């Protein structure tokens, strides 16, 4: 048995999140258990464990006795037939369903029929429906009818990581219990139970690292603990961003160039933006608490990074929110804040493949530096990485002091670049690099790889490929 299953909470007191613990205790001790709950929150925060504890409480034979004796007892005894069978997962009246695999209307119709039947042995039947947001709308409506007029002997516990995806009427007819990501301190406390039980030996630093890497999930924390106990501390080092203290040093010095370079290299080496952000925040946190009066500015930095961390899950380019935060902090481009478009700026029409393709193209061509064209590219990347990626499949064709003509290889890219919002960002950067207001126009040209030299209107050298050639021509065009 995995340690997570072995040490999962067995009663309300063992639940890791204090506010969940208190809400459920209040409900149970009121003696009025609602007929439908909605447990909502991130994965690994204890929803299923809490649902099973509630299932035990609802049917525990000892609690039933204590009610008759009017003695207040709200924790499951964990000894009676009902409690034991729930723990073992073989209680016939506690039905756990994964909505992801029973999401259709037929499943829910069957459910509606089955719920009418009396419990086999228990006082009440408890349906635990995991990932409830996965139900189809039809299925949700069918479930709603059952929840609206439930048989006396049924309690529903819906669990979901995405409550906003449930139909409103289900949300409004269930008792909502919010689960949240755990703090590092809460995770450490939770791990103590496992460490004591298994007689493991962990130094505080390793525990701190595990808590940090678990990203608010009790389940992930126990899994990591188990892996570290088997594979040793090195396990934690894998996939961890190296040299974050150096990165933080760049931030303190407001060295934009080095900070952005660090991000690029760390991401290429396989570190996730969340990992970099988290470790950077740990570093900054140490300095903030050293001397608050001295380090007020660091609070601003911490806030920027926390905001970036919040945006990472929704960003198609994982490191972009981090890069934006770094630029804002270093003050390099603060005047262009209004130009910083949301990281989702590739738009709905763009497929994931296209994003990946353009981003890969951008990464591939990162070596050359210094010249005007590259300055344009590197100035635009942190502000809008997707424009920069689009420009990687383009080259400057002409510049007359007022208008910069870009030869773009693909129609789709041309359309994206001509999009008003994108063009404004681009023109602004180009104007800044060239130190003169500049209009940008795009024209379709053949991509260089195809070597169509025959009778194109462009200079032959342009069709030959690689960035170096483009740079050479760019130099000529910009009169460098």
Footprint of Zn ion (CB under 5 A)? 60, 62, 76-77, 80, 83
Q: Which is nearer to Zn ion, 83 or 376 (CB)?
A: 83
Q: Which is nearer to Zn ion, 80 or 105 (CB)?
A: 80
Q: Are strands 125-130 and 154-160 parallel, antiparallel or unpaired?
A: parallel
DSSP notation for 264-319: HHHHHTT--HHHHHHHHHHHHHHHHHH-TTTTHHHHHHHHHHHHHHHHGGG-SSTT
3: tokens are 């340690």
- Beta carbon of residue 173, minimum distance to Zn ion (angstroms, whole number): 29
- Beta carbon of residue 82, minimum distance to Zn ion (angstroms, whole number): 5
Q: Is 91 helix (H, G, I), strand (E, B) or coil?
A: coil
- Beta carbon of residue 158, minimum distance to Zn ion (angstroms, whole number): 24
Half-sphere exposure of residue 268: CA atoms within 13 angstroms, side-chain side: 12
- Beta carbon of residue 3, minimum distance to Zn ion (angstroms, whole number): 24
- Beta carbon of residue 160, minimum distance to Zn ion (angstroms, whole number): 28
- Beta carbon of residue 130, minimum distance to Zn ion (angstroms, whole number): 23
- Beta carbon of residue 55, minimum distance to Zn ion (angstroms, whole number): 11
CB atoms within 10 A of CB 248: 23
Q: Which is nearer to Zn ion, 60 or 327 (CB)?
A: 60
Q: CB–CB of 236/228 below 8 Å?
A: yes
Torsion sign, CA atoms 379, 380, 385, 388 = negative
- Beta carbon of residue 54, minimum distance to Zn ion (angstroms, whole number): 13
DSSP notation for 173-191: TSEEEE--PPPHHHHHHHH
Task: Give dist(CA 96, CA 89) in Å, integer.
Answer: 9
In eight-state DSSP terms, residue 234 is H
Task: Give dist(CA 331, CA 312) in Å, integer.
Answer: 21
Q: Which is nearer to Zn ion, 67 or 314 (CB)?
A: 67
Q: Which is nearer to Zn ion, 76 or 321 (CB)?
A: 76
Task: Give dist(CA 82, CA 60) in Å, integer.
Answer: 6
Q: Tell me which H or E stretch contains 396.
A: strand 394-399
Residue 440's DSSP bridge partners are 404
Q: Which is nearer to Zn ion, 62 or 469 (CB)?
A: 62
Q: Which is nearer to Zn ion, 77 or 244 (CB)?
A: 77
Q: At what angle do helices 204-213 and 218-231 cross, to 10 degrees?
A: 130
Task: Give dist(CA 3, CA 202) in Å, integer.
Answer: 15
Residue 35: exposed, middle, or buried by beta-carbon count in 10 A (0-12, 13-18, 19+)?
A: middle
Kindly provide the b/e burial profile for residues 224-245, where b requires at least 16 CB atoms within 10 angstroms of the residue's own CB. Answer: bbbebbeeeeeebeeebbeebe
CB atoms within 10 A of CB 258: 15
Residue 398's DSSP bridge partners are 405
- Beta carbon of residue 1, minimum distance to Zn ion (angstroms, whole number): 21
Q: Which is nearer to Zn ion, 76 or 163 (CB)?
A: 76
Q: Which is nearer to Zn ion, 82 or 309 (CB)?
A: 82
- Beta carbon of residue 266, minimum distance to Zn ion (angstroms, whole number): 52
- Beta carbon of residue 56, minimum distance to Zn ion (angstroms, whole number): 6
55: tokens are 């299932």
Q: Which is nearer to Zn ion, 73 or 261 (CB)?
A: 73
- Beta carbon of residue 343, minimum distance to Zn ion (angstroms, whole number): 51
Q: Which is nearer to Zn ion, 15 or 17 (CB)?
A: 15
Contacts of 441 (CB under 8 A, 6+ apart): 403, 404, 405, 406
In eight-state DSSP terms, residue 13 is G
Write the CA distances from 56 to 28, 64, 423, integer angstroms: 12, 11, 61
Q: Which is nearer to Zn ion, 157 or 298 (CB)?
A: 157
């Amino acid at each position: 048995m995995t340690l997570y299953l072995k040490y999962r909470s067995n009663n309300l007191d063992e639940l890791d999140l204090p506010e969940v613990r208190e809400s459920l205790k209040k409900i149970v001790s009121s003696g009025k258990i609602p007929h439908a709950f909605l447990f909502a929150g991130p994965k690994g925060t204890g929803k299923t464990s809490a649902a099973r504890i509630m299932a035990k409480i609802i049917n525990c034979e000892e609690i039933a006795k204590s009610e008759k004796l009017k003695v207040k007892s709200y924790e499951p005894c964990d000894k009676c037939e009902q409690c034991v069978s729930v723990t073992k997962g073989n209680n016939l009246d506690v039905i756990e369903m994964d909505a992801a695999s029973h999401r259709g209307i037929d499943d829910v119709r069957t459910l509606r029929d089955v719920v009418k039947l009396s419990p086999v042995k228990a006082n009440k039947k408890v349906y635990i429906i995991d990932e409830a947001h996965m139900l189809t709308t039809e299925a949700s409506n069918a479930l709603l009818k059952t929840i609206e007029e439930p048989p006396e002997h049924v309690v529903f516990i819906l669990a979901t990581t995405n409550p906003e995806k449930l139909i409103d009427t289900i949300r409004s007819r269930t008792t909502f219990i919010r689960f949240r990501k755990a703090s590092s301190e809460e995770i450490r406390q939770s791990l103590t139970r496992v460490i004591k039980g298994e007689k493991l030996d962990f130094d505080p630093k390793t525990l701190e690292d595990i808590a940090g890497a678990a990203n608010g999930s009790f389940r992930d924390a126990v899994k990591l603990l188990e892996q570290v106990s088997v594979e040793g501390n090195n396990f934690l080092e894998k996939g961890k961003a190296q040299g974050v203290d150096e990165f933080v040093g760049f931030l303190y010095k407001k060295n934009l160039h080095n900070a952005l370079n660090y991000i690029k290299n760390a991401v290429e080496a396989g570190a996730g933006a969340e990992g970099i952000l988290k470790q950077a925040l740990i570093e900054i946190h140490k300095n903030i608490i050293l001397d608050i009066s001295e380090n007020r500015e660091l609070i601003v930095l911490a806030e920027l990074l926390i905001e970036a961390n919040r945006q990472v899950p929704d960003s198609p380019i994982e490191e972009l929110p981090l890069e934006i935060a770094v630029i804002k902090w270093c003050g390099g481009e603060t005047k262009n804040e209004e130009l910083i478009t949301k990281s989702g700026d590739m738009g709905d029409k763009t497929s994931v493949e296209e994003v990946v393709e353009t981003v890969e193209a951008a990464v591939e061509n990162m070596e050359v530096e210094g010249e005007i064209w590259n300055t344009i590219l590197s100035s635009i990347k942190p502000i809008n990485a997707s424009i920069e990626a689009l420009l990687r499949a383009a080259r400057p064709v002409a510049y007359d002091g007022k208008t910069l003509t870009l030869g773009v290889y693909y129609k789709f890219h041309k359309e994206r670049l001509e999009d008003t919002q994108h063009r404004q960002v681009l023109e602004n950067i180009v104007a800044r690099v060239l130190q003169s207001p500049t209009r940008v126009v795009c024209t379709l040209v053949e991509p260089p790889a195809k070597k169509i030299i025959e009778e194109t209107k462009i200079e032959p050298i342009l069709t030959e490929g690689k960035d170096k050639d483009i740079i050479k021509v760019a130099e000529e065009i910009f009169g460098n």
